Amino acid sequence: MTAAAEKITYTASAEQIARMHDTFDAGIAEIKKTFGQTHPMIINGKDASGRKTFDVRAPHDRSLVLGSFQFGTKEDVNDAVAAAKAAYPAWSARPWQERVAILRKAAEIIRERKFALASLLVIEAGKSRGESIGEIEEGADLIDEDARQTEAADGFVTPMGTLDGREQNESVFRPFGVWAVLSPFNFPHALSAGPAAAALIAGNTVVYKPASATAFSGYELARCFVDAGIPAGVFNFVTGTGSVVGETLTHHPDVDGVIFTGSKEVGWDLFKTFSTEYSKPCITEMGGKNPVIVTENADIDKAIDGTVRAAFGFSGQKCSAASRAYVARPIYEEFVSKLADRANSFAVGDPTQRETGTGPVIDESAVTRFEEAVASAEGGTIRAGGKRLTGGIYDSGTYVAPTVIDGLDPSHELFHKELFLPFIVVAPFDTLDEAIGYANDTEYGLTAGIFSEDKAEQEQFFNDIEAGVVYANRRGGATTGAWPGCQSFCGWKGSGSTGKGALGPFYVAQFLREQSRTRWIEE
């Protein structure tokens, strides 16, 4: 199988990733030729530029300017929302089969451009090659999954029963109107493509704002949608600050729904304030403090592999990253020692290079957060890492060492505060009940993993853990690596707001509202 044809997911092997290096080298060389240009917004099918601009820089080399993007204004947001509102009647009235066909075309275009898009992710977000190509593949698969759900539900029209033979009853799911799609820096492609496609397939129109740090990836995704034939006004792309573009969008009276991925603080505030006169849908995915439990019945090498990938992949900048581990006391020292050895040997460097295991963190604020976390670990033991990396290439970017800390009480803030860093704290336990109690002692409930060869322990974990995405013995990622159509990505507690997840079978329905239709048939 050629590199271009092979599908790479987040759990891909080193051998699979190695087969695509030559293609990646060419893709990186090509994308670099586009750097330094100024890029527009897309409002009502037209390029919108001429505003003040901001630069997007590479986290592995802050001197490298990838491109300049528009500081969108309140007026730009108003124009984009007005365009989306005007386009809504025709788009929502279009047969759902036609909407599905257009979005499937977008998925095809993404796959055709996947190495160019992935190469941009490597440089703009600092992802490794494997993480980058996995995200592009996920974005295309998310669109296909949205389409599949719609087809399986026959456009979300369901015949209903009747109490009278002269009635014909059906449940019809109908779109809301204009949706705001607000995406994060860490998955700028997948967590934009999937939500936007779901909203569009459902018959809504979209105003899309990417994270400023990854605006280039957002722009390239927008071009894929436009090139697929989405009509003017149906999909609009606006860049700028959260305080101007984001606030104007989420407080706009003509925005009928919003989907947000980001911090619990911002997401929860949005959830509380978005609806005013009446309830409007607000889908939020708000991060996690994801535990790994390793019992005495675990395969330790399997547990180490899964924990390392989940804790340090993409420098821990995933809402699903493993950031705390609870390990059975008889195997505790062996586990922590091996985990520290792997952390110390993790290849941290320039993400454009083949040998890199993980790249930089996104910016200086992330470095500051890392240094504050290390300082707060007083009384614990730094078993690996604990420092900013300096010297050579490290001086050009924002690099920190994968970090393992133990010796802290499970009540310590590092076991409870989301860091979004390559940083894991470890503590021992004596019983599985105790470990699950520690794991559940958090305001978050996104992902969790267990390593145990005992099926009874696995079952107890599944039944008692308070998280929406749970794994047992997953070597490819103890708490990470959910895939469209395979694992529904649903946050419980402070990690989500709807009780239904992305990637799963009930996602598109969240962008719709039910209407009961009865037709009276005269004899």
Which of 223, 256, 266, 333 minimizes the C-alpha distance to 81?
256
Tell me if 67 is assigned to some domain.
yes
Q: β-pairing, 512-520 with 167-175?
A: antiparallel
**Domain at 311, CATH number:** 3.40.309.10
Q: Does residue 282 carry a catalytic annotation?
A: no
Number of domains forming the structure of the chain: 2
Tell me if 33 is assigned to some domain.
no
pLDDT at 5: 62
Interior CA angle at 259 toward 271 and 196, to 5°? Answer: 170
Same domain as 461, residue 315: yes
Residue 208 neighbours by CB under 8 Å, 6+ apart: 180, 181, 183, 192, 196, 218, 222, 235, 236, 237, 238
Same domain as 318, residue 231: no
What are the E-state strand segments in 160-256? 167-175, 178-182, 205-209, 235-237
Residue 152 neighbours by CB under 8 Å, 6+ apart: none
Task: Dig out the tokens for 390 from the structure.
Answer: 């300096």
* pLDDT (average), residues 156-164: 93
Tell me if 19 is assigned to some domain.
no
* pLDDT (average), residues 280-308: 97
Chain centre to alpha carbon of residue 331 = 33
What does the alpha-carbon distance between residue 137 and residue 453 come to, in Å, rounded to a whole number? 32
pLDDT at 12: 85
* pLDDT (average), residues 306-327: 97
pLDDT at 2: 44
Q: How big is the chain, counted in residues? A: 523
Q: How does pLDDT run across 379-417, given as a tens digit for each residue?
A: 999 999 999 999 999 999 999 999 999 999 999 999 999
Task: Dig out the tokens for 162 from the structure.
Answer: 């009747």
Q: How does pLDDT run across 217-254, given as a tens digit for each residue?
A: 999 999 999 999 999 999 999 999 999 999 999 999 99
Tell me if 426 is assigned to some domain.
yes
Which of 224, 26, 230, 198 minimizes the C-alpha distance to 111?
224
State residue 324 phi and psi, 5-degree precision.
-150, 145
% of the chain beyond a pLDDT of 90 = 92
Same domain as 332, residue 280: no
Same domain as 375, residue 275: no
Q: Does residue 486 carry a catalytic annotation?
A: no
Q: How does pLDDT run across 484-511, given as a tens digit for each residue?
A: 999 999 999 999 999 998 888 999 999 9
Tell me if 420 is assigned to some domain.
yes
Q: How does pLDDT run across 356-383, given as a tens digit for each residue?
A: 999 999 999 999 999 999 999 999 999 9
Chain centre to alpha carbon of residue 195 = 10
Residue 330 neighbours by CB under 8 Å, 6+ apart: 296
Three-state DSSP at 121 gives: helix
* Catalytic annotation, pick one of 131, 135, 137, 285: 285
Asked if 253 contacts 233 with a C-beta cutoff of 8 angstroms, the reply is no
* pLDDT (average), residues 278-301: 96
Q: How does pLDDT run across 331-355, given as a tens digit for each residue?
A: 999 999 999 999 999 999 999 999 9
Which of 48, 77, 87, 111 minimizes the C-alpha distance to 230?
87
Tell me if 23 is assigned to some domain.
no
pLDDT at 494: 93
Judged against a pLDDT cut of 60, whether residue 3 lies above it is answered with: no
Give the pLDDT band of residue 1 (cuts 50, 70, 90). very low
Q: How does pLDDT run across 194-212, given as a tens digit for each residue?
A: 999 999 999 999 999 999 9
pLDDT at 112: 96
Same domain as 474, residue 450: yes
Same domain as 511, residue 488: no
Tell me if 26 is assigned to some domain.
no
Please give the residue range of the domain that contains residue 303.
290-493
* Catalytic annotation, pick one of 224, 282, 319, 490: 319
% of the chain beyond a pLDDT of 70 = 99
What does the alpha-carbon distance between residue 228 and residue 160 come to, in Å, rounded to a whole number? 36
pLDDT at 386: 97
**Domain at 67, CATH number:** 3.40.605.10
Read off the pTM.
0.95
- The overall average pLDDT reported for the chain is 96
Q: How does pLDDT run across 98-143, given as a tens digit for each residue?
A: 999 999 999 999 999 999 999 999 999 999 999 999 999 999 999 9
Residue 434 class from Cβ within 10 Å (0-12 exposed, 13-18 middle, 19+ buried)? middle
What does the alpha-carbon distance between residue 269 and residue 223 come to, in Å, rounded to a whole number? 31
Same domain as 317, residue 269: no
Same domain as 223, residue 160: yes
pLDDT at 7: 86
Q: β-pairing, 61-70 with 53-58?
A: antiparallel
Task: Dig out the tokens for 294 from the structure.
Answer: 């390793």
Same domain as 347, residue 270: no
Same domain as 255, residue 327: no
Same domain as 332, residue 276: no
pLDDT at 120: 97
Same domain as 191, residue 171: yes
Task: Dig out the tokens for 67 from the structure.
Answer: 């491109």
What does the alpha-carbon distance between residue 282 and residue 361 come to, in Å, rounded to a whole number? 29
Q: How does pLDDT run across 434-457, given as a tens digit for each residue?
A: 999 999 999 999 999 999 999 999
Cβ atoms within 10 A of the Cβ of 94, count?
14
